[in-house]
A and B are shown apart, each in its own frame.
Chain A
């Protein structure tokens, strides 16, 4: 059986209430008041679509042997690099073999489901890891700003024992330009909402659903859940009604908690559906954008063994409110703030160095001494253990999937940070190894000596002048 072997999700640690946006920008666009319900997920200042995708992928790799993964498909319409493989960065961060086939799916908002279909189609040749993430940007005061959220989801697709088997898929492709961007565009451009609703959204989704059901010889009532992404809460409900779905058949569109998260959205909703699924459930997953993709999954008995069924709920609980709209603008690069002369300093990145040291920088791989067994980072020639000191005895040892304890820490107000104070500390890894890391997604008050931490792949710096993102790992607390 070909289907879902594992799934993971990632929600950033911040959310902003739509009411906060409306309060700040309502003077300009009073219609924001109608969108003021709920909140949306906001990526941290050190996150982008690549790091979000990596985080979601790491979330599903705990139950999968990553050496069996033969392909990584990354989907996003907001890849940090337009030229330079974001998927190769993610593959290295995920400690996948360099023989892994990597590909990027972009352009249409249905790129996430497109990647899923490709994975299903190729599942007879080893495990496929699909990770979808988006951090789309709306202009200040627009309805898109209020609606768009940042999130990611990931699926491991393969043959054999699966949580849900793929029973069929169906696609539609139209040049329906409801949203668009070209190279120069920082923000999503759109067309009249009525046209999008009447001619696109409310037509394509029912057509894709009926097309797939017909192909599979099924009826609407045979489906336990229909996952289809919203363009807003009202039209999502309207389409559900048009298709004659009962309340139970409609998967929560996550507008009130996460917002519209682009290519990741149907995958995130699908993950949420699987968390609640029972054996025998048929789940229909639709991706929307320049047409539609639809996939039908049949949940198997293996779903009973799913360990964590509250990932989305726990991730939502973990979040902190971003109280200031100006902080949101700053994180999104929409605020020219005074960084100070220290903040303006930016040394050049040496790409020959980062390539040479890629194991340390991207994989967080150090060495483990064959003589004394001490894990160490970064990898050097002579063993750091003073009682050992062996020369040239290091074997590869990856720290990115290791947990650790926070040995000590501080909150630095002097160093430049996009979100001061900068938290950093020393991590003693379980199993050995000590290194110094930034600490992400928490506050000084929440930290304590010896607390447990995990590693997270982040954007350490952004060099606008030279169009470079420096990626590295940070420590963070556990969400679940």
Chain B
């Protein structure tokens, strides 16, 4: 294996807007707010930034194509700015690009900003879009939505592990209830309301077996990170966040079109996780990680992520859910800020928002939801669908 990125770069400043529907805010104002917080947090000035990356997905709706919307919003002085897009994993792409640029020595200080402004389409859920293969998709693919694509994972999972619809839905409801409880403690979260399991179970079905509370919010917001080489990080602040791994894996679509994938897990997460743990030198994520923020676009996604990240044994994540293993006071807290479910999911910003929570937790600045003495945090970002997706995994530590 190549040398990898471990301990080569560090985050010295981050910013994140309040997430929400933001009917009265523009993408421009969100980007500026996240950026100003990150600048202040890092204690640097705009002129210190050598290069920037912008991550956004549904450019058609609001932000616009190219990197110009970021350069224009922040009034960046003619520096290299690049837009990255990889579905819902776009945020991790921006972090990765900025980190690699710094690690290569091509620049000293790099900026990653993710943003999404979804609520200008006039209807609930994500914008209707051609998921893959552009307009060809419309001819030969069902008119699927994200909840439907992930619901099929639940259908198959319940069948394989012999869970009745009631048992399966109850397990998923516990996952959502945990995230809502954490989100209620998080000032910047979109949905700050605790919801009990029975309410979740009774909610209207969106895509069977997933109900309303099995789905994350449709959210606007922005997040930003400032990255420098690890050896100079302490010159900016005493508590930078050191990178342990940055991995992306993309499905070759064999799950989608070849009869091998079993439909109860996300193969791309498994592949990405194996590489990330190797890069970070983690042998047992269940005991070595302090916390993790995962791509819980839907409750079933989070359930299989527990297994795909090799934290819960295959087919037995339910036992950990039932035991409260991932609760804020559990052995390995997950979604301490509420996750996509409750903090919200502005597509291009989510990967950076996850890292923002790891950053705040590992600095001990997570307020009411602060966990005890964390050392190592993981983020898992999923773009696409269970059978064909982009997975971004980052692992960060507060020690070099």
Let me know if A377 and B257 touch, CB within 8 A: yes
Give 1 or 0 for each of A323-363: 1 = CB within 8 Å of chain B CB.
00000000000000000111001011110011001001100
Among A340, A378, A413, A470, the residue within 8 A (CB) of B206 is: A413
B128's closest neighbor in chain A, by CB?
Answer: A345
Asked if B252 is an interface residue, CB under 8 A from chain A, the answer is yes
A342 and B125 form a contact (CB under 8 A)? yes
23 pairs, CB–CB < 8 Å, chain A vs chain B: A341-B121, A341-B123, A348-B135, A349-B138, A357-B136, A361-B139, A376-B258, A384-B253, A384-B257, A407-B156, A411-B205, A412-B144, A412-B207, A412-B208, A415-B144, A415-B148, A416-B128, A421-B207, A422-B142, A424-B148, A432-B259, A434-B259, A436-B142
**In contact, A378 and B140 (Cβ under 8 angstroms):** yes
Q: How far is the CB of A346 from chain B (nearest CB, A)?
A: 10
CA distance A416 to B123 in the complex (A): 12
Q: Is A410 an interface residue (CB 8 A)?
A: yes
Question: Shortest distance in angstroms between A407's beta carbon and chain B's nearest beta carbon?
Answer: 6
Q: Say whether, besides A384-B257, A386-B252, A421-B208, A449 and B139 are in contact (CB < 8 Å).
A: no
- B282 beta carbon closer than 8 Å to chain A: no
Residues of B within 8 A of A187 (CB): none
Q: Which residues of B contact A416 (CB under 8 A)?
A: 128, 143
What is the 8 Å Cβ interface bit string for chain B, positions 239-269, against chain A (1 contact, 0 not)? Answer: 0000000000000111011111001000000
Interface bits B145-176 vs A (CB < 8 Å: 1, else 0): 10110011101100100000000000000000
Chain B, Cβ-Cβ closest to A439: B142
A410 x B140 contact (CB < 8 A): no
A308 to B256, CA, bound (A): 36
- Whether A436 touches B144, Cβ cut-off 8 Å, given contacts A353-B136, A412-B207, is yes
On whether the beta carbons of B139 and A426 are closer than 8 Å, the reply is no
Can you add 8 more A-B contacts, CB < 8 Å, to A348-B135, A410-B209, A412-B144?
A: A340-B123, A341-B122, A345-B128, A349-B135, A376-B257, A410-B207, A411-B208, A424-B144
Interface membership of A444, Cβ < 8 A: yes
- Which of A360, A409, A417, A470 interacts with B152 by CB under 8 Å? A409
In the bound complex, residues from chain A placing their C-beta under 8 Å from that of B121 are 341
Q: Is the CB of A354 within 8 A of B139?
A: yes
**Is B141 interfacial (CB 8 A cutoff)?**
yes
Cβ of B26 within 8 Å of any chain A Cβ, yes or no, is no
Q: Are the C-beta atoms of B147 and A470 separated by less than 8 Å? A: no
Q: Interface digits, B376-400 against A, CB 8 Å rule (1 contact, 0 not)?
A: 0000000000010000000000000
Complex alpha-carbon distance, A438 and B140, angstroms: 10
Contact of B257 with A414 in the complex, beta carbons under 8 Å: no
**How close is B126's CB to chain A, nearest CB, in angstroms?**
9
Residue with the highest number of chain A CB atoms closer than 10 Å, among B122, B123, B204: B123
A416, chain B: closest CB distance, angstroms: 7
Q: Which residues of B contact A384 (CB under 8 A)?
A: 253-254, 257-258
A354 contact set on B, CB distance < 8 A: 139
Q: How far is the CB of A360 from chain B (nearest CB, A)?
A: 6
The answer to whether A425 has its CB under 8 Å from any CB of chain B is yes
Contacts of A410 in B (CB 8 A): 148, 151-152, 155, 207-209
Which A232-256 residues have a C-beta within 8 angstroms of B? none
Closest chain A residue, CB of each to CB of B210? A410
A449–B123 Cα gap in the complex (Å)? 32
Closest to B159 in A: A449
Given known pairs A354-B139, A357-B136, the reply for A386 and B258 (CB within 8 Å) is yes
Whether B135 contacts A347 by the Cβ 8 Å rule is yes
- Count of interface residues, chain A, beta-carbon cutoff 8 Å: 50
Residues of B within 8 A of A432 (CB): 259
Q: A408-B156, A410-B148, A433-B259 are in contact. Are A357 and B139 (CB under 8 A)?
A: yes
State whether the Cβ of B29 lies closer than 8 Å to any Cβ in chain A: no
Interface residues, chain B, with chain A CB atoms under 8 Å away: 121-125, 128, 130, 135-136, 138-145, 147-148, 151-153, 155-156, 159, 204-209, 252-254, 256-260, 263, 387
A414-B143 contact in complex given A374-B258, A428-B259, C-beta closer than 8 Å: no
CA distance A391 to B58 in the complex (A): 34
Q: Does A437 contact B (CB under 8 A)?
A: yes
Name the CB-closest residue of B to A422: B143
Shortest distance in angstroms between B227's beta carbon and chain A's nearest beta carbon? 35
| A408 vs B207: C-alpha distance when bound (angstroms) | 13
By the criterion CB–CB under 8 Å, are B123 and A360 in contact? no
Residues of chain A within 8 A of B256, CB atoms compared: 434, 436
B-facing residues in A445-480 (Cβ within 8 Å): 449, 460-461, 470, 472
Most central of B135, B147, B152, B257 by chain A CB within 10 Å: B257
The 8 closest A-B pairs by CB, nearest first: A412-B148, A410-B151, A424-B142, A408-B156, A449-B159, A341-B122, A411-B208, A408-B152
| Given A385-B258, A386-B252: A412 in contact with B140 (beta carbons within 8 A) | no
- CB-contact partner of A342 in B128, B151, B259, under 8 A: B128
- Looking at the assembled complex, report how far the CB atom of A324 sits from the nearest CB atom of chain B, in whole angstroms: 21
Residues of B within 8 A of A350 (CB): 135
Task: Give Cα distance in the complex from A470 to B140, angstroms.
Answer: 9
| Alpha-carbon distance between A11 and B133 when the two chains are bound, in angstroms | 35
Cα of A354 to Cα of B140 in the assembled complex, Å: 10
Within 8 Å CB of B123, what residues of A? Answer: 340-342
Check A408 against B142 for contact (C-beta < 8 Å): no
Contact digits for A199-237, partner B, Cβ 8 Å, 1 yes 0 no: 000000000000000000000000000000000000000
Most chain B CB within 10 A, of A342, A350, A376, A461, is at A342
User: How far, in whole Å, are A470 and B135 apart by their CA atoms in the complex?
Assistant: 12
A28 within 8 A of B: no
Tell me if A435 counts as interface (CB < 8 A to partner B).
Answer: yes
Given the interface pairs A410-B207, A434-B258, A434-B259, the reply to whether A415 lies near B152 with Cβ below 8 Å is: no
Q: Which residues of B contact A470 (CB under 8 A)?
A: 138-139
A341: chain B residues at CB < 8 Å are 121-123
Minimum C-beta distance from A254 to chain B (A)? 34
Chain B: CB-nearest residue to A449: B159
